[in-house]
Amino acid sequence: MSTTPTTAGNRTRTSNEGGSVPFKWVAFILGLLLPGLGHMSIGEKGRGYRILAGFLVLWFSGLLIGGLGSVRSWDPPYTNPAAGGKRNLWFIAQAAAGPIAFGFAALDASLIRGAEDDDLIEITMHDRTIGTAYRFTSIGHAADFGTLFCALAGLINFAVALDAGARATSDRRGGRP
Amino acid sequence: MTAFAWVPFMQPLPGVQANWLWLLPVLIFGIAMMYKAVRVVDLANYWREVGSMTIQILLAFLGLATGVFIIVQWIVPLLPAG
């Protein structure tokens, strides 16, 4: 009987199994700055464009469903009892989309701050006083899905940026023969 | 406010409250686009893989919904009360 060496002892670790390829921080950060840019920077332009396309589908679908309020870094005071509002935790996930998320959050904030009287409606606040809310603030499923779409776009982009950092140039994922 | 007065991106999409389930395929399609862009071996198969993943997840949802429907509508009523 031949003495074939065990595969466990002689296994060549590919770059995706860790250890052999140093993590590319530049690609990771570029991927956070703009979805797909990390892959483009390591020569995977086809993947990068497809990542960007997928991101844009999720992101702008969310904005289409819930309006600009889908990307909101701070909740307005009328959404919670704490005066002055509180941090919107969904924005943590959305922030992984990079400057795009912060730009849209700033746009939303400026829209609410600069709202004319005609764009405000009277509402009953948590302390039973009369307050105002932006007329086109999304509620219910529109708010839920708009926020969810953008949050998932951000979360997946974070994972994709990690992949850009860990991927060897001209590497291919999949595992299927 | 009617749908004709809707200003995209500035105002929420009308009719979502009653038709939110139709957003699920769009959500899954977007997720599949990003996921397969990273995972697919040959980019020539990209769109086929995206379509395949979208349909697989939708079918899984359909199966889960059917299972829950059977449990709630048929099996639970058979359980003895009290």
Instruction: Give me chain A's average pLDDT, please.
Output: 82
From A4-8, A164-168, B25-29, the region with the lowest mean pLDDT: A4-8
Q: What percent of chain A has pLDDT over 70?
A: 78
pLDDT above 60 (res A172):
no
List CB contacts of B33: < 8 A, sequence separation 6 or more: A50, A53, A54, A57, A58, B50
Cβ contact, residue pair A141, B16, below 8 Å: yes
Which of A161, A166, A53, A72 lies closest to A110, judged by CA? A72
Q: Closest Cα of chain B to A33: distance in Å?
A: 16
Reduced 3-state DSSP string for A155-171: HHHHHHHHHHHHCCCCC
Mean pLDDT of the region A81-86: 58
Distance CA(B78)–CA(B82), nearest Å, equals: 12
**How do the residues of chain A divide into helix, strand and coil, expressed in percent and rounded to 5?**
60, 5, 35
pLDDT above 90 (res B52):
yes
pLDDT at A157: 98
Which of A37, A49, A50 is the mutation pick for testing B, counting most B CBs within 10 A? A50
pLDDT at A6: 40
DSSP assignments along B38-73, one per residue: HH-SSGGGHHHHHHHHHHHHHHHHHHHHHHHHHIII
From A55-64, A86-95, B65-74, the region with the lowest mean pLDDT: A86-95
- A60 chain-B contacts, CB cut-off 8 A: 9
Distance CA(B67)–CA(A118), nearest Å, equals: 49
**DSSP state letter for A74:** B
pLDDT at A84: 57
Token digits of residue A74: 């701070």
Half-sphere exposure in the Cβ direction for A177 (13 Å, CA): 0
Mean pLDDT of the region A154-164: 97
Q: What type of residue is A151?
A: A
**How big is chain B, counted in residues?**
82
DSSP assignments along A52-67, one per residue: HHHHHHHHHHHHHHH-
Cβ contact, residue pair B37, A47, below 8 Å: yes
pLDDT above 90 (res B3):
no
Which of B8, B12, B32, B68 lies closest to A53, judged by CA? B32
Nearest to B30 among A57, A63, A144 (CB): A57
pLDDT top residue among A124 and A171? A124
Per residue in A8-65, pLDDT tens?
434 443 445 555 789 999 999 999 999 999 999 999 999 999 999 999 999 999 999 9
Give the start-to-end residue ranges of the domains of chain B: 20-76
Which of A14, A56, A59, A61 is the mutation pick for testing B, counting most B CBs within 10 A? A61
* Entry pTM: 0.83
